[in-house]
Structure 1
Amino acid sequence: MSGHLEIGRLGENEAATYLEKIGYCIVAKNWRFKNLEIDIIAEDKDVLAFVEVKTRHSFALADADFFVDWKKQKRLIIAAEAYLHYRGYKGEIRFDIVAVTLDKGVHIELIKDAFWT
């Protein structure tokens, strides 16, 4: 596995552990629809959260939400719609971003309701 893929998987695992620690219930990891992927799908109380994980060595150059541009948002929304249809889910949803920084240890930042459709 290449370096950036290993870093991404490490970040996703750290994010899932963090989310569970603060009360989220992980429903799926790396859920795929055609060529699209949702890193983490989790329940946060009565809300289904679609979570994009961004892992970097340092976020000094930009915030995590900067890395989820409108193209990536559109892809996540399409995948989320497919998941909702597939599961027949009718409740409240949101899109979160978890920024994982691997600089001098692991630092995690959660951005709830990072964007909307």
Structure 2
Amino acid sequence: MADHNELGKEGEERAAVYFASEGYKILERNWRYHPKEIDLIAQKDDLLIIAEIKTRSTEDWEHPQESITNSKIRFLVDATEAYIMENDIDLEVRFDVVSVIPDGTTWKIDHIKEAFYPPTN
């Protein structure tokens, strides 16, 4: 497997540990919808959290929030609707982006809550 895939898997693991340590209940990791997936689905209080995890090897890349394209937002909204219907969930939804960057022997995690809102049309 390519190094960037391994880095991505490690970043997703670090993000899941972070979410759990912050009191989120992890409902799903890598939930498949058609050929793509939602990286992490969690719940905290009365919120369903849909998290896109962006792992970078350095901070020299674009900001993770900027890497979420309109097509990615449409996919996440569609996949979230399918997840809600499939699991009969009645919670408000929040879309977050989590940046994970290795920093020596630790990891820098930047959790952007309400990183975007679903389009209204």
TM-score normalised by L of structure 1: 0.94
Q: Distance in 2 between the 1:3 and 1:78 partners? A: 30
Q: 1: CA distance between counterparts of 2:31 and 2:42? A: 11
5+ unaligned residues in a row in structure 1: which ranges? none
Residue 115 of structure 2 corresponds to 114
Residue number in structure 2 paired with 1:31: 31
* Alignment-derived partner of residue 41 in structure 1: 41
Give, in angstroms, the shift of residue 47 of structure 1.
0.3
Unaligned segments of structure 2, at least 5 residues:
none
Please give the per-residue CA displacement for 1:5-42, whole angstroms capped at 9, x wherever unaligned: 11111000000000111111100100001112000000
SS in 1 for 2:28: strand
Alpha-carbon distance between aligned partners in 1 of 2:63 and 2:34, rounded to the nearest angstrom: 29
* CA offset digits 1:44-100 (Å, max 9, x no partner): 221010110000011233211011121111111111111011111121111111100
Residue number in structure 1 paired with 2:17 = 17
**1:100–1:106 Cα contact (<8 Å) kept:** yes
Asked if the contact 1:96–1:114 (Cα under 8 Å) also holds between the matched residues in 2, the reply is yes
Tell me by how many angstroms 1:2 deviates: 1.6
Q: Map of 1:42-81 to 2, 5 A cutoff?
A: 42-81=42-81
Aligned residues: 117
Over the residues paired in the alignment, what is the CA RMSD in angstroms? Answer: 1.1
Partners of 1:71 and 1:34 in 2: CA distance? 14
How much identity, in percent, do the aligned residues show? 38
